[in-house]
Structure 1
Amino acid sequence: MNELSAPTGQEEGLRAVPRPDGSPPRALVFGATGYIGGRLVPRLLAAGYRVRVLAREPARVAAYDWGDGVEVVPGDARDEASVREAVEDVDVLYYLVHSMGVGRGFEKVDRDAAENVGRAASDARVGRIVYLGGLHPDDAELSPHLRSRVEVGEILLRSGVPTLVLQAGVVIGSGSASFEMVRHLTEVLPYMPAPRWVRNHIQPIAVRDVLHYLLGAARIAGDINRVVDIGGPDVLRYGQMMNGYAVEAGLRQRAIAALPVLTPRLASHWVNLVTPVPRAVARPLVESLQNDCVMSDHEIDSLIAPPEGGLTPYRRAVALALGRVRDDGVETSWQDAEVSGAPSDPLAADPDWAGRTVFTDVRVAETTATADALWSVIQAIGGDTGWYSSPVLWAVRGWMDKVVGGVGLARGRRSRARLRVGDALDFWRVEAIEPGLFLRLRAEMKVPGSAWLELRVTPGDGITRYDQRAVFFPLGLAGRLYWLAVLPFHGLIFRGMVNRIIAEAEQLTAMHGRTVSTE
């Protein structure tokens, strides 16, 4: 969530307006476990709203940091009883659900759900509905999914409850399906055969700005019932979006060839083949890009003021999504989180195919050695001690690094006994350390990507657990090929490390009993 403003809710225009009796207003969120909903809920809470969510699987809500701060009503948007329970005593209802990926019959699913929610909200005298729809040209033939989203907006506008339909195009943020398609296509393909729609114009918007407008929508005048477009400050061709991503990700700009033969069906198969985005998700995304996707007006400015400092430019939105830049109030990337954070840990709101491509080598072992003995062995790693496995392979890797201009293995370590954050350790650097428990090393050798090595000690009752994880974020196609090239050696290197570290710790325990010093 590093691309989002921290959920302080302190901007005056976004704070909840108390009810006449002084109590905080209640917001109901449909789709709270989705990409946008999972990021909106904590900001509603921070802005002073009481939040209720309708969820088919209440257990999923409990997995979120904010899960214990909301009221959960089990149910589905098409279930009349649960919806009527959820809408009671609600001031603003956020409708953030749609059936992309459901398959055939999704139009009826969306229609039935919207009609059910609209009726229940009207009967309960809900103060406002806010719906996030899709940006589209007014005079073009729309894809089935965009038509369905337009229909949902129209149903809610006719419900009798004042409704604001916010129409957004490509949302830029880690975890957004549209952004993930751009990310994976650009990172995998140095040369990109693409459909003609790469020449179409798009007006992307940063996820932080979408959330700003959603929060602001709760405070607009009660009689407003209309559709407005929202978008970022840049209008780009889709191909320019891909190359803008490439620049921010540290990749060379891609050669893009628009091919007239790639139909939406074929293009969605192609996206599914070269990226982890499922075809059921890729196809409606591809179909929605058949036309220009640009704001037709800026009437949103008369309803909700832009964010303080202005809307986020595309390139900055990408840099924030990648964690390459940060500023005050921005949630940071995993490296800056608590030391036990993990590079590949996803947000609860994100699908399992979202986020950067990450390769890992994970090893786990249990030992009768004491936790102190195990930590003592870990803390001595590198330098004269070596890396507890195949010295020849480590030496070859160090020599290869020197040949291409890297630091090699010759740096050793500053202290034979202790490690501190920032210490050089051969061609690694100590990035995080929790004495006795956890060590994270960041690779400084020349590789087409970013690499880390994590070593963890978990004390137990007579048994100590050792976790070892190598993590690699590949940079483009070269990074993926590099990982495949070194994969055969990982079994020798990393398995050998585990075995030797465990053996050394058990020997140390046998020599000193249960009182090994970690100093």
Structure 2
Amino acid sequence: MRCLVTGATGYVGGRLVPRLLGAGHDVRCLTRDARRLRDVPWAGQVEIVTGDVSDPATLPPAFAGVDVVYYLVHSLGRGDFEDVDRANAANAAAAARAAGVGRIVYLGGPVPTGRGGSALRRRGAGSAHLRSRTEVADILLASGVPTVVLRAAVIIGSGSASFEMLRYLTERLPVMVTPSWVRNRIQPIAIRDVLRYLVEAADAFPPEVNRAFDIGGPDVLTYTALMRRYAAVAGLRRRLIVPVRPLTPKLSALWVGLVTPVPNAIARPLVASLIHEAVAAEHDIARYIPDPPPGLTGFDDAVRLALRRVRDAEVETRWSTAAWADTPSEPLPTDPTWSGGTAYTDTRERPVRAPADDLWRVIESIGGEHGWYSFPLAWSVRGWLDRLVGGVGLRRGRRDPQRLQVGEALDFWRVEEILPGSLLRLRAEMRLPGRAWLEMRVCPERGARRDSDRGDVGEAERSRYRQRAVFLPKGLAGHAYWACVWPFHALVFGGMARNIARAAERTGSRSSPAPVSR
């Protein structure tokens, strides 16, 4: 089938497209800026059409010849998002009807249940976010094109705004004074199950089906339980949560904005929607899309998948490879900058008046007797402290003074990746409230050359040294740790980059690099 995905650069859309391709569908993506899809791995497998659902004139080429339209466009984050979403949905509905589209699939929000549920179910009263989702669903259902609306509450996956709020609040606050709505019940669903429903919806329903379906995972929990179970899965200490009635949704949103990097314009409507319970009232979707044999993904397993952080410091590489096909719960490059948890980095770069192979010799011989090229006392003290708390310290040294292999120990690091002449990535094995990597790269400069007849370095022969330290904190202690060591980075990491470059320039290709102290 030919599927049109609107919102392909968004959280769900970016994960849906490769799964539709994997299911054998032809995919067309509608985007306002084709450059945003230029570097995704599947760009060459889809048709990309430039257009905007807010501009009806741009829609006919995108909707022409399409069997199924996935409507995944939302304007949350704008003050007038209700008006914008209403107009956009009407434009898309009209374009789908004019093009003779066979099916619209829309991922919407839940219908509130529980306290005041009868009034809230009318149109999500009290929450602009839920009210807008319900209104968009109604517009599409009334379009004259058979429509399936999938109503999901909190989606568990890195990059989902609701999950990121949960992640940051739980990791950063061991003790929380919270609004009373943390006692409300919620039925979260894993992103992998959401994507499964969306893919199957392309051809699972007969033409006469035109309705909404509730979708949710197997667990119904309070928000308090969500935070405590997240802490348990993440390996954090049990969180103390004290509900306080006077905290209004507006105050709650300001509090979320202070504690988390989720923009206040997004946090405010999401927090307002949490004052209502969101539990599936039916599971009719199973008539058309049966549950998988192992069952839907439980909350704890969904969190584990979302927390499967990359195993190396090259976060972007992991995002653009395995994450696309295998781990939809992990971040993607098109996710917002505040998603995926905190990753602190220290990046240094220096030009080197030496060829790339000489610079690589210095890098590959680092550690052990050669040291770490900056402030030896600081490295020694860090090693002593690590041993005091039961860590490995610097006592392991290195196996060979000149050559490294993936998987071997290097002082209190482990060689995680080595691309000869190009990249050395080390994973920290010292005791830390989080995980850390140190990455060193060699980048040959264009025009670099060696005067082979004279045996010396020509003026044009240069290279560039790039160094990056990455730290993924665990809990409040991790953030505090980074804040404490950050003032020393200019001395330690800055000196390291400077002295590695000097060692390469001084050593050339005639001898092994000597240790540099400062």
If the length of structure 1 is used for normalisation, what is the TM-score? 0.89
Structure 2 counterpart of 1:113:
88
1:152 aligned to 126, 129, 136, which one?
136
Structure 2 counterpart of 1:249:
234
C-alpha contact 2:319 2:331 (8 A) present in aligned 1:
no
Alignment of 1:402-417 (within 5 A): 402-417=387-402
Give the superposition deviation at 1:354: 0.6
CA distance in 2 between counterparts of 1:481 and 1:413 reads: 31
CA distance in 2 between counterparts of 1:388 and 1:342 reads: 32
Q: Is the partner of 2:230 in helix, strand or coil?
A: helix
Give the superposition deviation at 1:384: 1.2
Structure 2 counterpart of 1:360:
345
Structure 1: gaps of 5 or more residues? 1-24, 325-332, 514-519
Give the superposition deviation at 1:371: 1.0
Give the superposition deviation at 1:512: 6.5
Structure 1 counterpart of 2:454:
none
CA distance in 1 between counterparts of 2:315 and 2:37 reads: 23
1:262 aligned to 234, 240, 247, which one?
247
Deviation readout 1:199-223 (Å, 9 max, x if unpaired): 1111100001000000111112121
C-alpha contact 2:158 2:331 (8 A) present in aligned 1:
no
Give the superposition deviation at 1:381: 0.9
C-alpha contact 2:358 2:509 (8 A) present in aligned 1:
no
In the alignment, residue 206 of structure 1 is paired with which amino acid? A
Structure 1 counterpart of 2:118:
139
Structure 2 counterpart of 1:479:
478
Structure 1 counterpart of 2:465:
466
Pair 1:316 & 2:291 matched: no
CA distance in 2 between counterparts of 1:394 and 1:73 reads: 54
In the alignment, residue 84 of structure 1 is paired with which amino acid? P
Q: Is the partner of 2:85 in helix, strand or coil?
A: helix
Give the superposition deviation at 1:495: 1.2
In the alignment, residue 195 of structure 1 is paired with which amino acid? P
Change (3 A) 1:351 1:336: closer
CA distance in 1 between counterparts of 2:509 and 2:25 reads: 59
CA distance in 2 between counterparts of 1:229 and 1:388 reads: 59
Structure 2 counterpart of 1:499:
498
Structure 1 counterpart of 2:10:
34
C-alpha contact 2:76 2:266 (8 A) present in aligned 1:
yes
Pair 1:207 & 2:191 matched: yes
CA distance in 2 between counterparts of 1:69 and 1:430 reads: 36
Q: Is the partner of 1:412 in helix, strand or coil?
A: coil
CA distance in 2 between counterparts of 1:390 and 1:358 reads: 25
Q: Is the partner of 1:365 in helix, strand or coil?
A: strand
In the alignment, residue 355 of structure 1 is paired with which amino acid? G
Structure 2 counterpart of 1:18:
none
In the alignment, residue 370 of structure 1 is paired with which amino acid? P
Change (3 A) 1:94 1:339: closer
Give the superposition deviation at 1:276: 0.4
Deviation readout 1:173-220 (Å, 9 max, x if unpaired): 011111100011111111011111111111100001000000111112
Structure 2 counterpart of 1:58:
34
Give the superposition deviation at 1:471: 0.7
Pair 1:335 & 2:335 matched: no
Change (3 A) 1:510 1:440: closer
C-alpha contact 1:118 1:156 (8 A) present in aligned 2:
yes
Give the superposition deviation at 1:85: 2.1
Q: Is the partner of 2:37 in helix, strand or coil?
A: helix
C-alpha contact 1:63 1:348 (8 A) present in aligned 2:
no
* Greater shift in the superposed pair: 230-239 or 119-128: 119-128
1:44 aligned to 17, 20, 35, which one?
20
Q: Is the partner of 1:35 in helix, strand or coil?
A: coil
C-alpha contact 1:339 1:432 (8 A) present in aligned 2:
no
If the length of structure 2 is used for normalisation, what is the TM-score? 0.89
CA distance in 2 between counterparts of 1:280 and 1:471 reads: 29
Change (3 A) 1:406 1:62: same
1:428 aligned to 380, 392, 413, which one?
413
Give the superposition deviation at 1:78: 2.2
Deviation readout 1:322-381 (Å, 9 max, x if unpaired): 117xxxxxxxx35398997699x9622200111120111110011121111111111111
Change (3 A) 1:348 1:337: closer
Change (3 A) 1:368 1:356: same
2:359 aligned to 359, 363, 374, which one?
374
Deviation readout 1:20-62 (Å, 9 max, x if unpaired): xxxxx21011111110001101111121111112111111121
CA distance in 2 between counterparts of 1:114 and 1:510 reads: 65
Give the superposition deviation at 1:308: 4.2
Change (3 A) 1:184 1:365: same
Q: Is the partner of 2:77 in helix, strand or coil?
A: coil
Structure 1 counterpart of 2:507:
508
Give the superposition deviation at 1:82: 1.4
Structure 2 counterpart of 1:451:
436
Q: Is the partner of 1:389 in helix, strand or coil?
A: coil
Structure 2 counterpart of 1:11:
none
In the alignment, residue 509 of structure 1 is paired with which amino acid? G
Pair 1:94 & 2:70 matched: yes
C-alpha contact 1:73 1:82 (8 A) present in aligned 2:
no
CA distance in 2 between counterparts of 1:286 and 1:339 reads: 30
1:195 aligned to 171, 179, 190, which one?
179
Query: How high is the sequence identity, in percent, across the aligned residues?
Result: 57
Structure 2: gaps of 5 or more residues? 321-329, 449-460, 513-518
* Greater shift in the superposed pair: 460-469 or 157-166: 460-469
CA distance in 2 between counterparts of 1:95 and 1:307 reads: 25
Give the superposition deviation at 1:387: 0.8
C-alpha contact 2:165 2:260 (8 A) present in aligned 1:
yes
In the alignment, residue 365 of structure 1 is paired with which amino acid? R
Q: Is the partner of 1:215 in helix, strand or coil?
A: helix
Q: Is the partner of 2:370 in helix, strand or coil?
A: coil
C-alpha contact 1:339 1:434 (8 A) present in aligned 2:
no
Q: Is the partner of 1:384 in helix, strand or coil?
A: helix
Pair 1:276 & 2:261 matched: yes
Change (3 A) 1:87 1:38: same
Change (3 A) 1:437 1:423: same
In the alignment, residue 109 of structure 2 is paired with which amino acid? G
1:383 aligned to 368, 378, 382, which one?
368
* Greater shift in the superposed pair: 72-81 or 462-471: 72-81
C-alpha contact 1:177 1:354 (8 A) present in aligned 2:
yes
CA distance in 1 between counterparts of 2:396 and 2:42 reads: 45
C-alpha contact 2:319 2:332 (8 A) present in aligned 1:
no
Give the superposition deviation at 1:510: 6.7
CA distance in 2 between counterparts of 1:245 and 1:463 reads: 49
* Greater shift in the superposed pair: 345-354 or 412-421: 345-354
Give the superposition deviation at 1:63: 2.9
C-alpha contact 1:75 1:83 (8 A) present in aligned 2:
yes
